[in-house]
Amino acid sequence: MHQFSDVELQGALRRLCEDAIRLYAEGSGSPAPERVIQVHCALELIKLGFVVTIEPTGKQCQHWFGLREQSALRIDLVICDPSEDGNADKAKPRALVEFKMNPWNLDVDPERVARLVKETGVTFGYCLGCWCDPRPAAAQSAIDYVAKRHQGAEAQSLKIPLGNREHLYAAVIGVPIKVTGEKQSPAPVGEQPQTG
């Protein structure tokens, strides 16, 4: 597995969101729902060698990260680096990722994700805003809105042909989460509760 830096992993997440939006929109003619983007990103990251959990339960996170409250962690993806021996139970949590299908609702998430990053000791947090709209100016409007409020936001816009000369205009906006203060070291995911 290629050793991704945090910045490379963030770039890969943005590209995977873009891929998911294109695949869904071109196939259905409508904007991609959040769940489709989450699952697409998770599957592609697993193919790259990461261990990924989609929307882990409070009980799982309480156990993995030693948090006091079961409901303390509500996040869309937990991305773990694989262990040296390939045992998924020994994978080390690396990133917490939150998706929003409306970038105008991103304002509350960076603070919440920053708190979770600090409490869990993972390497970084990342919020992704994914916006789709038939109006040409809507994607740039979403990008501009987030850029004014969050330093370091990375974005790309896309124009997706839907047939019959119609297009969907989309934006993928990534907001890296900065955390101040000392982090704890994350525990491996080993001893995670078995779910079925």
28-70: pLDDT as tens digits: 888 889 999 999 999 999 999 999 999 988 777 777 777 776 5
Q: In what order do the strands lie in the sheet with 92-100?
A: 51-54, 77-81, 92-100, 124-133, 166-177, 154-163
Mean pLDDT, to the nearest integer, of 131-141? 91
Give pLDDT, residue 48. Answer: 93
Q: Does the pLDDT of residue 72 top 80, yes or no?
A: no
Q: Does the pLDDT of residue 182 top 80, yes or no?
A: no
Residue 132: strand, helix, or coil: strand
Give pLDDT, residue 165. Answer: 83
CB atoms within 10 A of CB 28: 12
CB atoms within 10 A of CB 126: 24
Instruction: Name the phi and psi angles at 160, rounded to 5.
Output: -110, 120
pTM: 0.85
Instruction: Name the phi and psi angles at 50, rounded to 5.
Output: -80, 160
Contact between 131 and 103 (Cβ < 8 Å): yes
Give pLDDT, residue 33. Answer: 93
Give pLDDT, residue 79. Answer: 95
pLDDT-wise least confident of 98-102, 169-173, 177-181, 182-186 = 182-186
49: left (phi over 0), alpha (psi -120 to 50) or beta: left
pLDDT-wise least confident of 35-44, 100-109, 153-162, 186-195 = 186-195
Give pLDDT, residue 189. Answer: 47
Q: Distance (Å, rounded) from C-alpha 164 to C-alpha 134?
A: 13
Residues whose CB is less than 8 angstroms from the CB of residue 123 and which lie 6 or more positions away in sequence, other chains included: 6, 94, 95
What end-to-end distance do the CA atoms of the chain give, in Å? 28
Closest CA to 34 of 98, 80, 94, 107: 98
